[in-house]
Amino acid sequence: MRISIIGASGYAGGELIRELLSHPEVEITNVVSRSHVDEYVFRIHPNLRGYTELKFSPLNLSSITSNSDLVFTSVPHGTSTEIVPKLLSTGIKVIDLGADFRLKDPADYPRWYGWTHSHPELLTEAVYGLPELHREKIRKAKLVACPGCMATATILALAPPIKEQIIEPERIVVDAKIGSSGAGNVPTKSSHHPERASGVRPYKTIGHRHIAEMEQELSLLTNIRPRISFSPHAVPIIRGILATVHTFTKKELELPELWKMYRSMYGKEPFVRLIRDRKGLHQLPDPKVTTGSNFCDIGFELDPHINRLVILSAIDNLVKGASGQAVQCLNIMLGIDEKTGIPGPTIYPV
């Protein structure tokens, strides 16, 4: 399968290239970056030196459509709405890593993103690319909208208890901690090393955009719309998200019941690990352990003090939160083993 990547110079783009280079069913035909035309890919993604002589090319849609079967788009929010319809109209399939096709209700774009969607008809067609919830639809999709990284960690943590309706739907606190790669590769004051290192900075404490997709997707599991109280924090790690999800159970629960719910939903999932150990340093999920992998590690605790169920969910924001999830969707569309091209055991400690 011939694949192009539009927006290939960002961190998620780099990871996508890395994964696709070792994917046996794929040939990369174009890696597009408007700001790095004609540069070697390894100059921007230095880990790929020695693995590819690819160079970045400009955004030329006719050239891309002539030699691609599927295109990954990894471009700033609001940019995909222009590119994707043109690609789809030539019969090319698209996996979009941005937010432009994630929300079903066109009204959510002005509300959460501040702009009006120019192709609302595509919102129905697009499939939300979370395999654990939408595998069958992804299989047949022409347009996959990959979830936001924060949304991936949160939705996977909450899906079982929401589906089973065991928690109060309006008292769900998601306190997230995220690494610096999550903000992309453009230097800003907030990513400046002297400012970012050694601190824990709350940001978007209210009103974060991923809330829209979290509530949308979790609503589909029942007919009650939960309210997500979501607040992220910038922590001094490069990769990874830990979502600590504090919920309150409607009645007393025992751990075996929880295990059963989570196993029933994720027992056969290739990229969800349930983590709950009684010994050692790694008793609950930590994004350190998912670095470089496509796993979402999920664990939980029951607090008898107040019927609280705390769920911990850890991912690598650039893999399960972006590129790895995208390749997982690709594999589903191709009808092959979902793990194809996705790295196996990753390094530790890192």
Question: Which residues are designated catalytic?
Answer: 149
Q: Does 289 bind a copy of itself (CB under 8 A)?
A: yes
Other Cβ atoms closer than 10 A to 55: 15
Q: In the range 35-64, which residues lie near a copy of itself by CB under 8 A?
A: 43-51
Query: Strand, coil or helix: what is 157?
Result: helix
CA 102 to chain CA centroid, Å, is 11
Q: Does 236 bind a copy of itself (CB under 8 A)?
A: yes
Q: Kindly state the number of chain residues that form the binding site for a copy of itself, as judged by CB under 8 A.
A: 97
- The secondary structure of residue 323, as a DSSP letter, is I
From the list 118-126, 157-165, 226-234, 254-262, the region that binds a copy of itself by CB under 8 A is: 226-234
| Three-state secondary structure of 58-88 | CCCHHHHHHCCCEEEECCCCCCHHHHHHHHH
In the complex, minimum distance from the CB of residue 318 to a copy of itself, in angstroms, rounded to a whole number: 8
Among residues 116 and 185, whose Cβ is nearest to a copy of itself?
185
In the complex, minimum distance from the CB of residue 234 to a copy of itself, in angstroms, rounded to a whole number: 9
In the complex, minimum distance from the CB of residue 166 to a copy of itself, in angstroms, rounded to a whole number: 16
**Bond preceding residue 349 cis, omega within 30 of 0:** yes
| Tokens found for residue 206 | 């209210």
Taking only Cα atoms into account, the Rg of the chain, rounded to an integer number of angstroms, comes to 20
CB contact at 8 A, 108 and 73: no
The correct pick among 13, 129, 147, 240 for binding a copy of itself (CB under 8 A) is 240
Buried b / exposed e along 19-39 (16+ C-beta atoms within 10 A): bbeebeebebbbbbbeebeee
Q: In the range 196-225, which residues lie near a copy of itself by CB under 8 A?
A: 196-203, 205-207, 211
Among residues 103 and 275, whose Cβ is nearest to a copy of itself?
275
Q: In the range 243-282, which residues lie near a copy of itself by CB under 8 A?
A: 244, 246, 248, 273, 275, 277, 279-282
| Tokens found for residue 67 | 């030699």
* Per-residue binder mask for a copy of itself (CB under 8 A), 294-333, x = binder: -x-----xxxxxx-x-x-x-x---xx--------------
Q: Does 150 bind a copy of itself (CB under 8 A)?
A: no
Q: Does 292 bind a copy of itself (CB under 8 A)?
A: yes
Q: Does 2 bind a copy of itself (CB under 8 A)?
A: no
Among residues 141 and 242, whose Cβ is nearest to a copy of itself?
242
- The secondary structure of residue 49, as a DSSP letter, is T
In the complex, minimum distance from the CB of residue 175 to a copy of itself, in angstroms, rounded to a whole number: 4
CB contact at 8 A, 348 and 297: no
Q: In the range 19-38, which residues lie near a copy of itself by CB under 8 A?
A: 21-22
In the complex, minimum distance from the CB of residue 62 to a copy of itself, in angstroms, rounded to a whole number: 30
Burial tier of 112 (Cβ tally within 10 Å: 0-12, 13-18, 19+): middle
* Per-residue binder mask for a copy of itself (CB under 8 A), 154-193, x = binder: ----------------xx-x-x-x-xxx---xxxxxxxxx
| Tokens found for residue 56 | 């970045």
| Tokens found for residue 175 | 């306190």
